[in-house]
Structure 1
Amino acid sequence: MTDIRVRVSAVLRQFLADRGVTLLEIDPELAPFLEVAEQVLLGGGKRLRPAFCYWGWRGVGAADGPEIVMAAASLEVLHACALVHDDLMDASELRRGRASAHRDLALRHRARGLPGDSDRFGQSAAILLGDLFLSWADDLLMASGLEPAALLRAWPIYSRMRTELVAGQYLDLSGHPLDLGSDPPARQDDESSAPDGRPSVRIGRIARYKTAGYTVIRPLQLGALLAGAPPELLATYAAFGAPLGEAFQLRDDILDLFGDPAVTGKPAGEDLRNGRPNALLALAARQPDATGLRALVDRPDLPAALDQARAFVVSCGALELAEQRIAACAAEALAALTAATASPAPLDATTFDALSRLAVAATVRTQ
């Protein structure tokens, strides 16, 4: 897994160098824009999506090679598009311990004394940067060196993944406010969560399309289709990826509230400040006296309010339920993987081990 991360980073570095030449040939004034692009793509990240794509390919029995690493790296460029746009929509100030793209671009505009509103400039330029990453992801996949037949075979899944990502982001953006006891009851199919920690229909749908699909399932299936996988393996990857993606998102929800910004690189409590009904907060909102969460919504800048919200999520049992659900999802994912080793076309031991370690990396993490 470490090797794939290093190799993907090397691909991204070379790709950026090539694309940077093109941008600077257009106009040297694009240099700050390019610098922010480099910070986003090369400034860290777990490279989970490329890793899942790579091992999706290897699970078919296909050999290692630079072509699949380059194809897998395209998913990190797609992820960069999502990060830039997500930070802009959430008004997030930080990403990976540095100014988020729109803030960085605004600060550079202000430092150069350029005319116009710097914040508006940063927001507008970040939209363009995200759009550029979306275009570059396609370019990198097409330039991977894989056979045209393989790219054509996998393109429908790649295309669907991009659509699902945007749909999930929109559903998240337009989601119902978190019910903290002062709003009308949610519709029956939108109840906060099941007693065992499973998310509501709506929250589960958002997580499936915004996170699970483009983080685990689709990268696995993309790699598999590039290698010519049979339908049975695609189904195995879906059975493995769906619960793992849910667990990944729940861990994100926990880190959003309880994570150390020095480790996560992001401010704590952003979902609650924005009134975003993620699965963890929805669990807490179902508990008695959920108005205890109101403090952070009403006083988002007070550290004491964040401490109060954390204490409530722990005391009401929501955090424990979320951890139990993560463990159950991880076990379900590994069971699907284990079942595949006994199928007529079993996963080889190397792929099984790699995917098992990726499952741990996705669910047991601090950032």
Structure 2
Amino acid sequence: MTELGPRVSAVLRRFARARGEALRGIDAELEPFVQLAEDVLVRGGKRVRPAFCYWGWRGAGGEDCDEIVTAAASLEVLHACALVHDDVMDDSDLRRGRPSAHRRLAGLHAADGRPGDPAAFGRSAAILLGDLFLTWADDLLMASGLAPGALARAWPTYARMRAELVAGQYLDLTGRLLDADGRVAADPARVGRIARYKTAGYTVIRPLQLGALLAGAPPGLLDAYAAFGRPLGEAFQLRDDILGVFGDPAVTGKPAGEDLRDGRPNALLTLALRHADPPAAAALRALVAAPATPAALARARELIVASGALALAEERIAAHTARALAALDDRDLDSPVHDALARLATAATARAL
């Protein structure tokens, strides 16, 4: 079996090229939009969700085949939808080290000298791009070549995953780190719920279960995958929160400090505000919803470290990951499947700053 990532990328290249040609046949003006769609799908990405889907299939007794790789690749198309829309909602400048889709589309508008606001055009066109990826994800899953019965068996979980992702994103969008009086408004239980639906479900649990259902897995394996994926997804989100403040954009491909700038209730900032002494907490609150300048970000980092929140977050990541690995050990999986899932767990939670 060749390495999974290149196989997923090859599927995405072929699929994007075929779907792109169909759009080009509609009108020549779609060319830059199609080029961007192909670029977003093919360039970059760690292929985490397809990997969990693939090994979920293998853990349920499915043999390696091109059909499951194609089905798993559909999750990367769904992920592209989420990323494009997320960048619009967060007004992000970068994604994977390059201008985000709405920024690139705004640039095309400005370069063409079209009337109207380039930024508004970029946002509107990016929403359409994300919608396109949402439909393409369905298309790729249905065109995977897997048996109709397998697809029908897995479809309710796939549909539930999409709905849960939207629910988690909406809760994240409406959440507040501070209330109108500057007090901590973020409820840890709600922050955890957002992470569970925005990240744990669609990154780990549902991809594993989708692969298992495609292979005809019994309910017991679905429960085991949930027991493994739930703490792992929480650790993944917490690592993402740390990277959002402390990450180097040259490594992460994303600007740092966006959650602080937007006052989003992520777990790291909530921990810092609750554990800092009163003067430090007041100083950190003053940085919430303020422009994410280099000086402000540096000060926020100092305050978070001094509060003990960073160390506590790292402890929680280690504990969540250990729980996930223990749940994995409790299931009698073939060694290649067990080892692959353990490697994925480590890679997902130990990403570099």
Aligned to 1:355: 341
Q: Distance in 2 between matches of 1:276 and 1:284?
A: 13
Aligned to 1:279: 267
CA contact (8 A) 1:295 1:308 kept: no
Q: Distance in 2 between matches of 1:249 and 1:3?
A: 26
5 Å-filtered alignment, 1:76-225, equals: 76-178=76-178, 182-184=181-183, 186=185, 191=187, 200-225=188-213
Q: CA deviation at 1:178?
A: 3.0
TM-score calculated relative to the size of structure 1? 0.93
Please list the CA deviations of residues 291-320 of structure 1 after superposition, one character each: whole Å capped at 9, or x if unmatched: 221343364243111111000100110000
CA gap 1:205/1:90 in 2 versus in 1, 3 angstroms? same
Letter in 2 for 1:361: A
CA contact (8 A) 2:287 2:300 kept: yes
Q: Distance in 2 between matches of 1:76 and 1:171?
A: 23
**Aligned residues between the structures:** 350
Q: Distance in 1 between matches of 2:289 and 2:56?
A: 45
> Which runs of 5 or more residues in structure 1 are unaligned?
192-199, 341-345
Please list the CA deviations of residues 191-249 of structure 1 after superposition, one character each: whole Å capped at 9, or x if unmatched: 4xxxxxxxx11000000000000000000000000000001100010000000000000
Letter in 2 for 1:167: A
Q: Following superposition, which runs of at least 4 residues in structure 1 exceed 2 angstroms of deviation?
A: 176-179, 181-186, 294-299
> Tell me, what secondary structure is at the counterpart of 2:263?
coil
5 Å-filtered alignment, 1:182-331, equals: 182-184=181-183, 186=185, 191=187, 200-287=188-275, 288-289=277-278, 290-297=281-288, 299-331=290-322
Q: CA deviation at 1:184?
A: 4.9
Aligned to 1:194: none
Q: CA deviation at 1:177?
A: 3.3
> Tell me, what secondary structure is at the counterpart of 1:144?
coil
CA contact (8 A) 2:273 2:285 kept: no
Letter in 1 for 2:191: I
Please list the CA deviations of residues 96-115 of structure 1 after superposition, one character each: whole Å capped at 9, or x if unmatched: 11110000000011011122
> Tell me, what secondary structure is at the counterpart of 1:353?
helix
Q: Distance in 2 between matches of 1:25 and 1:16?
A: 14
Q: Distance in 2 between matches of 1:185 and 1:310?
A: 18
> Tell me, what secondary structure is at the counterpart of 2:44?
coil
Please list the CA deviations of residues 165-188 of structure 1 after superposition, one character each: whole Å capped at 9, or x if unmatched: 000000000113336x943564xx
Q: Distance in 2 between matches of 1:348 and 1:273?
A: 46
CA gap 1:129/1:298 in 2 versus in 1, 3 angstroms? closer
CA contact (8 A) 1:53 1:219 kept: yes
Q: Distance in 2 between matches of 1:39 and 1:148?
A: 31
TM-score calculated relative to the size of structure 2? 0.96
> Tell me, what secondary structure is at the counterpart of 2:62?
coil
Q: Distance in 1 between matches of 2:109 and 2:293?
A: 30
Aligned to 2:327: 336
CA gap 1:252/1:78 in 2 versus in 1, 3 angstroms? same
CA contact (8 A) 1:296 1:302 kept: no
- What percent of counterpart residues are identical? 70
> Which runs of 5 or more residues in structure 2 are unaligned?
none
Letter in 2 for 1:292: A
Q: Distance in 2 between matches of 1:184 and 1:47?
A: 39
Q: CA deviation at 1:117?
A: 1.2
> Tell me, what secondary structure is at the counterpart of 2:3?
helix
Q: Distance in 2 between matches of 1:70 and 1:23?
A: 21
Q: CA deviation at 1:116?
A: 1.7
CA contact (8 A) 2:177 2:263 kept: yes
CA contact (8 A) 1:56 1:223 kept: yes
Q: Distance in 2 between matches of 1:166 and 1:132?
A: 16
> Tell me, what secondary structure is at the counterpart of 1:26?
coil
Q: CA deviation at 1:28?
A: 1.2
Please list the CA deviations of residues 14-63 of structure 1 after superposition, one character each: whole Å capped at 9, or x if unmatched: 00010011010001111110111122111201100000000000001110
Letter in 2 for 1:43: R
5 Å-filtered alignment, 1:62-81, equals: 62-81=62-81
Aligned to 1:343: none
CA contact (8 A) 2:54 2:72 kept: yes
Q: CA deviation at 1:126?
A: 0.4
Aligned to 2:16: 16
Aligned to 1:3: 3
In angstroms, what is the RMSD of aligned CA positions?
1.5
Q: CA deviation at 1:334?
A: 0.2
Higher mean Cα deviation, 315-324 or 113-122?
113-122
Please list the CA deviations of residues 81-140 of structure 1 after superposition, one character each: whole Å capped at 9, or x if unmatched: 000000000000100111100000000110111222111110000010000000000000
